[in-house]
Amino acid sequence: MNRRSFIKRSLFTLAATGMVPSLFSRTALAAGGNGKILVIYHLFGGNDALNTLIPTDADTYATYTSYRPDIAIPKANIIDLGAGQNLGLHPAMRPMADDLWDDGQLALVSLVGYPNHNRSHFYSTAVWNTADPNHPNAYGWLGKFIDEKNDPFCATNFGPNLPRALRGVHTSGLSIESIGGFGLGTRGWEQKLQTELLRQIQYSRNGTAEEVRGAMEHMLRSVEKVRGAQDEAFAPSTNFPDNTYGKRFRDIARLIKYEFPSQVYYASTGGFDTHANQGDASNDSYHAGILGDLSSALVAFKREMIAQNRWNDVMVMIFSEFGRRVEQNASAGTDHGKGGVLFVTGGGVRGGIYGEKPVLDEEALDHGDLPVKVDFRSVYADGARFIGADPAELVGAEFSPIGLI
């Protein structure tokens, strides 16, 4: 294949796969990054913070049950977080309490959100994805990181639609619905083209052709890593639960094992819009079920990361776009609120309570909602710092990390 044909075919392949922005990237050709991985999981719908992280001192708990006669968690069932916290976790989160909190590796950020909180799912999700409450139609907060890397493989979403968080001005991350379905295509001509390009990238070239060769090598080797994950029998050290969270965390663990070059992984699962029949502590109640599914999947992920000797290299950040109203509604559920709770874990995370304990006196509430006391961008600042990015560039200099690492 001559120089002109090589460049033409390489550009065609890059264009067909959406990789053109990384063509002349220098950073895309290097190993890249600091070896750290940020996993972001969005609980879409608005998780009920007050039934997740529950105040347990006598006066506040009495107020809590008066607001929620049908869905309050019985005090005897609440997982006490100890150390005079006067806070406890929903009983369905026992796996997280035992394997993460007790090991000092679970940070619970209470009353988190943003100023002038909006109760729209889509607007609030856009705010969290852009880190810009005033202009949430802009590019993603991690898009700035991806633009700087100029490498779409540095950030991967699991799901059919790329979240705004991973959209940059010049470069955006990848979206993989499933590991099994990822690749450059299965048609005969696509396979032949890829085989020929894999052969050609072994030979050094000059000038533009060498830059094209380097970008093609990076792309094709990255795709090969996913295919390796497809072809190899992945035998995790623990059984991931057979639920949505388990499948997502299992796929992320699989790509980490096969050294896929992403420093950011993103996933989202719905079901947290609990307007009716939310339930209490019963094992068969709705909210208990989804919190239990999440907790068991997260603990399985931790155990697999330990087995891969990567737990200290990973930070998992789990958020919901808002919390819910303090008072239950007439359908034994809760409506859209404001202040929420955010989970952060990892081998290097400093566990504990961050932010303030919920106070339920009427004058302490924000028009019937839990108020926002911690701006989520300060939590993001810790995530940015963890992966070696400049927090000031990603979320703004006014938002200092809260000290999670």
Q: 218 in a domain, yes or no?
A: no
Residue 400 belongs to some domain of the structure:
no
> What pLDDT was estimated at residue 12?
41
Is 115 a residue whose pLDDT tops 80? yes
Quote the radius of gyration of the chain (alpha carbons, Å). Answer: 23
pLDDT in tens, 221-268: 656 656 555 545 678 889 999 999 999 999 999 999 988 889 999 999
| 224 occurs within a structural domain | no
The pLDDT tens digits for 119-170 are 999 999 999 999 999 988 879 999 999 999 888 889 999 998 999 999 999 8
| Residue 86 pLDDT > 90 | yes
- Please choose, from the candidates 285, 185, 193, the residue with its C-alpha nearest in 3D space to the C-alpha of residue 6: 193
Q: Does the residue 211 lie in any domain?
A: no
pLDDT given for residue 188 in this prediction: 55
Q: List the CATH number of the domain containing 136.
A: 3.40.720
Are the C-beta atoms of residues 274 and 70 closer than 8 Å to each other? no
| In a domain? residue 3 | no
Q: Can you tell me whether residue 333 is helix, strand or coil? A: coil
Whether 223 is in a domain gets the answer: no
Q: Under DSSP, is residue 144 helix (H, G, I), strand (E, B) or coil?
A: helix
Residue 314 lies in a domain: yes
Assess if residue 6 is contained within a domain: no
State which residues form the domain around 293: 37-182+240-395
Domain count, the chain: 1
| Local confidence band at 215 (pLDDT 50, 70, 90 cut-offs) | low
Q: By CB neighbour count within 10 A (0-12 exposed, 13-18 middle, 19+ buried), where does 160 fall?
A: exposed
Distance CA 334, CA 384 (A): 33
167 strand-pairing partners: 172
Question: pLDDT tens digit string along 285-302?
Answer: 999 999 999 999 999 999
